Structures are given as C-alpha cells and as structure tokens.
C-alpha cells in the first residue's frame, strides 16, 4: 500500500511492494462561497454548474429563478433573472452558456452576455450538455415519464433524436472521445453520440449531477448517500476509483449536494443546498506497484537546473520548484522499477497542474 506525506511543500512517496494500482486521496478543499438569500451572489437552492472557456463559473439557482456568474475564486459578477426554474447548465468552446428550466425553455447566454430563448417547447427539458463541435444535447420529457435525448445546433435547430426511453437525467459529454453519459435512476449509462449503448453500471443513488474530467473519468454527485461519500469517481468503464465527501456542515462537507463541474485545471466545483458552492483542488496521486520499466527517460534539466518533464503525447512541458521535487522522486522510483512509465506520466501531469503548483511552491 502507498501513501504520501506533504512536508515543507514537497510531496514524499512512501511505498511498499504490492500489485500495481493508482490510489487517490480526496480532493483538497480550497474555498467556499455563497449564502442563503436573494441578494446578488446569494442562492436559495443552487443546482447546475458550468465553466466557460475563460474560467468563469455559472451556477443555476433553481428556486431563485436566476443564472449567476462568478469568477473562479467566487467573486460575484452578474446574474440573469428568468421566469422559470433553471436547473442544468452547459458551456461550449465559443464562450456561449446554455441552461434549461424545469418544464420550460432552453436559454442561451452568448459571448456578449445577451440572453435568449433558443428552444421554446413544447419540450419539457431536463439535462443539457455540449459536444466538441458545439452541438447541444437536451433531454425532452414532454411525451411521458420516459423521454428522449435530442441533438440541436447552437441556435436551437433540431437535428435528431439520439437516445429514447430515458427518465429525468443529467447529461455529460466526453468531448475528447465523443461519448455521452446519462444517469438513469440508479445507473450511469455510456453511449456513443449516435445513441449506441456502450456500458452501464450501478451507482448508489438516483439523485445528483455528473461531470467528466480531462482523463474521461465520470464524477457523480450522490445527493442522498450520507454514509459512503457524497461524490463518486468512476473510470469510463464503470470501475469505482474514489468515494469521498463527508456528510456535515463544516468546510469540505455536504448536506444536500447537487451540481458538479470540473475546470480545465482539474479543480472541482460542487453546489450544495446548505454549504452553497465549494471548490476543491485535484487530488494528489500516490503510487504502488513493482513493474519493470520499458520506456525512455522523459525528464531533462533546464538552464536553471530544474527538472523538466515533456509529455510524450502532447509535447507539453512542466517545470518549476514543485515539479522539480516531484519529478526527482518520481524519476527515482521509475528508474528503480517501482512504478511504470504510465504511472510516472500521471504523476507528472498532476504535478504540472497550475493550481496545485501555485499552492505548493
């Protein structure tokens, strides 16, 4: 089993030989904002969350009848008031933000801040998501209890029905792999964007939003699980990777969480009926295992003597004091055959995360 110790801003690995596996600690609590009320920046019941390409955070207040815009550190910027209850939110790569309302239309906030209705009804819209080509996917429950997932362009023009026979559900799209995820009662279901079911696995509860990280992992907010952790992390094929989130009122705890979004740096935002909005840093990775290494060294030194890691897939380089410390230890472990090249790459990607870097330098 492996653990880590954070000591004097350095990540120290403590290992024992075991079968190869990556183990995660829960994300680190960073900050919290919001309070109950109707004033700017307050909420009555925050639900869906989305993050645009500039890092701004959009949060639906289902009972406050508005969409709020915040900076990444929780500074209130503006809000749009609507007549029906906003629930889920999604953002595209152009700076547009879409949100739907319970039993009402789909709204679009364009890159200039203008709000318009792009899908009028009679659709009863629920979940909403956007793919890599800026097509939007919306659940329509107007027919009966089991509805459809329909595809539209960014102006609200209907293209086709993708999935039929689905109940009230949040949606998430893996833009790197063109996959669509739904939460169906107690299951999470993975589809191709053509509607072919690819995988299905059982979760612990029927309530809460889902989000995807940059590695394609599925994060599910389990609103009602007060015992095993309110937030579950699964691989894209349904393997449970982590379960965290203590029930309570303290910082980093939850009473009735609902919405979730993950930004490009891996930071996680979760809405809660009691604790409002909480932001978490991505978890550190601790490594176990004893495998031979069959990969070339990917770490070199820069002009200042710092270790620099070059990602073999993207060519992106990470460096700095914190990365230097982590790279040195990870390189030592890999060259000793204690970790694989794949595990080494995961560690370096996590070490190169800008928010983690700033926090630990």
Position 287 scores a pLDDT of 35
Q: What is the mean pLDDT of residues 204-215?
A: 84
74: left (phi over 0), alpha (psi -120 to 50) or beta: left
Q: What is the mean pLDDT of residues 255-275?
A: 91
SS3 333: helix
What pLDDT, in 10s, does the model give residues 174-200?
998 899 999 888 899 999 999 999 999
Q: Which of 70-74, 235-239, 267-271 has the lowest mean pLDDT?
A: 235-239
- Cβ atoms within 10 Å, residue 332: 12
Provide the b/e sequence for 193-204 (b: ≥16 CB within 10 Å): beeeeeeebebb
The per-residue pLDDT for 332 is: 75
Q: Report the DSSP beta bridge partners of residue 173.
A: 180
The H or E element spanning position 57 is strand 57-61
**Terminal-residue alpha carbon distance, the chain:** 27
Q: Are 348 and 327 in contact (CB under 8 A)?
A: yes
Residue from 106, 37, 113, 119 nearest 69 by CA: 113
Mean pLDDT of the chain: 79
Helix (H, G, I), strand (E, B) or coil at 300: strand
> pLDDT above 90 covers what percent of the chain?
47
Residue 122: cis peptide before it, omega within 30 degrees of 0: yes
**For residue 338, pLDDT beyond 80:** no
Which residues are 241's β-sheet partners? none
Q: How many residues does the chain have?
A: 361
Rounded to an integer, the average pLDDT of 13-25 is 38
What is the structure's pLDDT at 291? 28
Q: Could you say which DSSP state residue 25 is in?
A: P
Q: pLDDT tens digits, residue range 278-302?
A: 999 876 443 333 322 222 345 666 6
Q: For 304-333, what is the mean pLDDT?
A: 67
DSSP assignment letter at 270: E
The answer for 8, left when phi > 0, alpha when psi is -120 to 50, beta otherwise, is: left
Tokens of 301: 């030194």
Query: Could you tell me the two tokens for 339?
Result: 């970790």
Indicate the burial class of 309 (C-beta count within 10 angstroms; 0-12, 13-18, 19 or more): buried
Residue 328: other Cβ atoms inside 10 A: 14
Contact 272, 290 (CB under 8 A): no
Judging by beta carbons within 10 Å of its beta carbon (0-12, 13-18, 19+), is residue 313 exposed, middle or buried?
exposed
* Nearest to 276, CA basis, from 51, 68, 53, 65: 68
Greater model confidence, 191 or 303 = 191
Cα–Cα distances in Å, from 2 out to 25, 57, 108, 244? 11, 35, 47, 18
Chain centroid, CA 219 distance in Å: 6
| pLDDT computed for residue 323 by the predictor | 66
| pTM of the predicted protein model | 0.74
| Digit-coded pLDDT (tens) for 53-66 | 999 999 999 999 99
């Amino acid at each position: 089993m492996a653990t880590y110790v954070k000591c004097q801003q350095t990540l120290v690995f403590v290992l024992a030989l075991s079968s190869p596996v990556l183990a995660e600690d829960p994300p680190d609590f960073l900050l919290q904002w919001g309070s109950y009320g109707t004033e700017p920046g307050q909420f009555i019941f925050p639900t869906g969350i989305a993050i645009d390409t500039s890092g701004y955070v959009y949060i639906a207040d289902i009972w406050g009848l508005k969409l709020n815009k915040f900076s990444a550190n929780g500074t209130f910027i503006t809000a749009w008031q609507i007549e029906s209850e906003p629930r889920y939110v999604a953002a595209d790569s152009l700076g547009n933000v879409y949100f739907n309302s319970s039993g009402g239309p789909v709204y679009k906030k364009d890159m200039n801040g203008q709000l318009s209705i792009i899908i009028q009804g009679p659709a009863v819209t629920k979940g909403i998501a956007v793919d890599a080509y800026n097509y939007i996917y919306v659940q329509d429950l107007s027919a009966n209890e089991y509805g459809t997932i329909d595809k539209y362009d960014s102006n609200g023009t209907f293209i086709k029905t993708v999935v039929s026979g689905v109940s009230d559900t949040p949606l998430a799209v893996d833009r790197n792999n063109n996959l669509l995820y739904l939460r169906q009662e107690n299951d999470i279901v993975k589809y191709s964007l053509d509607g072919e079911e690819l995988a299905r696995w059982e979760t612990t509860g029927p309530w809460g939003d889902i989000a995807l990280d940059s590695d394609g992992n599925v994060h599910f907010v389990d609103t009602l699980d007060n015992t095993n952790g309110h937030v579950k992390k699964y691989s894209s094929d349904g393997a449970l990777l982590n379960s965290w989130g203590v029930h309570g009122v303290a910082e980093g705890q939850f009473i009735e969480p609902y919405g979730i979004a993950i930004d490009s740096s891996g930071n996680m935002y979760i809405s809660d009926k009691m604790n409002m909005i909480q932001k978490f840093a991505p978890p550190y990775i601790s490594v176990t295992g004893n495998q031979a290494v069959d990969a070339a060294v990917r770490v070199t030194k820069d002009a200042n003597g710092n270790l620099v890691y070059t990602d073999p897939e993207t060519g992106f380089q990470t460096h700095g004091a914190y990365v230097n410390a982590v790279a040195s230890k990870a390189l030592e472990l890999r060259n000793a055959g204690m970790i694989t090249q794949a595990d080494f790459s995961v560690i370096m990607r996590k070490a190169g995360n800008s928010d983690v870097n700033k926090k630990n330098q």
